[in-house]
Amino acid sequence: MTLHRRTLLRAAGVSLALPCLDALARGDDRAAQPRRRMVCVCTPLGLHPPYFFPEKDGADYELTPYLDVLKDFRRDITVVSGLAHAGQSPGFAHQASASFLTGAQNAGRPGFRNSISLDQYAAEHIGGRTRFPSLALSGEGAGLSWTRTGALVPAATSPARVFARLFLDGRPEEVRAQVARLADGRSILDDVGGQAAALRSGLGAGDRDRLDEYMTSVRDLERRLARDETWARTPKPKVSAEPPRDIPNAADLLGRTRLLFDLTHLALQTDSTRLVTIMLGGSTYVPPIPGVTLGHHDLSHHGRDPGKLEQLKTVESETMKVVRDLLAKLKQTREDGATLLDRTTVFLGSNLGDGSSHSVRNLPVLLAGGGFRHGKHLRFNPENPPPLCNLFVSMLQRLGVETDRFSSGTSTLTGLDPVG
């Protein structure tokens, strides 16, 4: 008998779709597909447009100061200009970071309610294949990930703690205690499920629908608990890297970013997760970078002051060097005859098109790796651009998620083609 991932296990009224198992590879071509990953990075204070965007589109664009830092990866990156999220306001430009990966309109305004972020949408489809469905990181403060109900996913800011979660096993008694707690949770859900089923027969149609939605949530939680119990019994991967030490200096933008990127590389390399979001720092403090005497936030609101622009160029160029180092690590890591960069879509962008004017148009977009045809500048008309979420549809499809829509996105991004 040929097995497919569509196969369901049915018993006592329970239907359970089979997970992604190696034993199913003969019956499902998708199981043999390479592991695809995604990293989304936001620079919350933007990138100075003249130093980032090329003047010419196509493949033979001249390198700008920031792209010159990435010149060794020219064939691995695509620069996109003109894109934006609809419905954002310059008056709430900083708050628009909440919509960076969701595309939800009116961020920051009274009554705003967010929607699911790109990574969490992807996690609903592929997150169950790894110990951690996704990893939300932040250089300071809040992160980029939001649940389907519009709740912010707490972002980890301590690389030391994240490293421990990823790679350090607890003592045997701690593992047993964790498994016991998960088992208790599952038994409680069994009791709740029985009570809800008994209650359903006496409800009206509207209440039955609401109860069914609740029971669906209960079943989802049961599946997550079962998965977590399996992972709790599975030893964590071993790595040769030394555990990182947290950097207490909030001004050290580069040092903190480097630690988060190193963790990201390790997490992807060990297949601990395939989905990572990273909010970089945007501190008001002066970063410890030679020649910089003002805070990053102050520099981003430069008002075209030549001195501030020169310092801003230094800060953002150094940040791009850290991005370059992440791309280098991914490209140097091999997996089944390919590089980790080939398998990982790296998206770098911002909620700000221009920090000084608080513009939310013409957002800086850099896409690297992931199996796309790179090496060019895609330029769109900022007066009538396609939604940035069209890019997100392309990224989802590259992950193997079968969808033509995400938020305001209704198709893939024109001009961005996958390899093969």
Tokens of 369: 């790796």
Which of the following CATH numbers is that of domain 35-168+242-399: 3.40.50, 3.40.720, 1.10.3120, 1.10.1060? 3.40.720
CA distance 379 to 364: 11
CA distance 374 to 253: 29
Give me the amino acid identity at 186: R
Query: Which whole-number Å values give the CA distances from 51 to 70, 151, 320, in the listed order?
Result: 13, 35, 11
Q: Which among 233, 326, 270, 277 is positioned nearest to 35, based on CA atoms?
A: 270
Residue 26 has a pLDDT of 41
Residue 406 has a pLDDT of 97
Taking the chain (420 residues) in runs of 10, the rounded mean pLDDT of each run is 42 40 42 86 96 97 98 98 94 93 95 95 94 93 92 94 82 62 60 69 75 63 61 76 91 95 96 97 91 95 96 97 98 95 98 93 97 98 96 98 96 94
CA distance 80 to 53: 8
Residue 420 has a pLDDT of 75
Q: Which among 263, 211, 256 is positioned nearest to 241, based on CA atoms?
A: 263
Biggest CA pair distance of the chain: 73
CA distance 245 to 242: 9
Run of H or E residues at 209: helix 205-232
3-state SS class at 266? helix
Query: Which whole-number Å values give the CA distances from 93 to 149, 217, 357, 363, 412, in the listed order?
Result: 23, 35, 9, 11, 26
Residue 201 has a pLDDT of 73
Run of H or E residues at 15: strand 14-17
